[in-house]
Amino acid sequence: MNIYDIILKKIKDVRMETGDDEPVSNMAASSMLTAEITIISTLLIAVVMLRLLNKTLMIGSVVLIFVLAIVAMPIMPRLKREQNDSLASMSFYVIIGLGIIVTLFYWGNLNG
């Protein structure tokens, strides 16, 4: 089974969960595929910026993320399911975001 088929299957799964039973069109699948490739390549390029901290760390994380991305391949359907419009998930991410920001600023600046 090649990657295209895996993605098509995943999209169908997502469709079934959300109760949207229209056939998966070519366009929907290719959009998902583009989004998938975009997100993985952006992530990989962004990780290269770790070279400013430590080169070994950069190489390690690029390889690690590459492997993880291949293993977890269709990321985008999952990501899309997470970013839905229900208040519960939105407020959950807002609070998580608040926690991350406060922690990062507090420890990042005190120990940085």
Partner 1 sequence: MIMDTQLASLLTAGALIVIGIFGTLFLDNLIKKVISLAFIGDGANLFLIAMGYKVGGIVYIFLPGMSMSNFSQNASYPLPFALVLTSIVIGASTMAVMLGIIILLNKKYGSLSASKILGE
Partner 2 sequence: MNYLIPLMVVIPITCALFLNLLHERTRTVKAISIIVALALPTVPLIANYGVQYFGGYPPLAQNPTIAVGLPTLITGTALNIFHPAITYVFGSAQKLMIVILGFIALFAIYISLYEVKKASGVYAYLMLMGTASIIAMLLSDDIFNLYVFFEIAALAQVGIVLVSKVDYNYETALKYMILGSIASPLLLIGIALLLGVTGNVNITDIVYSIQHGLVNPQSPVLLMACSLIIFGWLYGTGLPPFHTIKSAMYSKALPTGAALLQAFSVFSFVAIGIIILRIFSYLPFAHIFIIGISLVAMTLGITMAITQTDFKRLIAYLAVGELGYIGIGLGLGTALGITAGLFQAVNEAVITAFLFIGFGTIMYKTKETDMRKLGGMLVETPKSALLVLLAGLAMAGVPPFNAFQSKLMLVQASLNSGLPEIAIIMVLLSIVTFMTFMRAFHTIYLRPKPADLEIKNEKIPNITLVAMVAFLVVCLVFGLFPQIATNFLQGMAMSIA
**Binding footprint of partner 2 on the chain (CB under 8 A):** 22, 25, 27-28, 31-32, 34-35, 38-39, 41-43, 45-46, 48-49, 76, 79-80, 83-85, 87, 90-91, 93-98, 101-102, 104-106, 108-110, 112
Total residues found in the chain within this entry:
112
Per partner kind, with CB cut-offs from 5 to 8 A, the member of partner 2, partner 1, none near residue 6 is none
Q: Within a 10 A sphere around the Cβ of 36, how many other Cβ atoms?
A: 20
Enumerate residues 9-48 that contact partner 1 by CB under 8 A.
18
Alpha-carbon gap, residue 17 to 35, rounded angstroms? 20
Place of tokens 């910026």: 49
Handedness of CA 18, 22, 23, 26 (dihedral sign): negative
Query: Which residue in 20, 27, 85, 109 binds partner 1 (CB under 8 A)?
Result: 85
> Does the protein bind partner 1 through residue 95 (CB under 8 A)?
yes
Least distance (Å) from partner 2 to the CB of residue 83?
5
Alpha-carbon gap, residue 40 to 86, rounded angstroms? 26
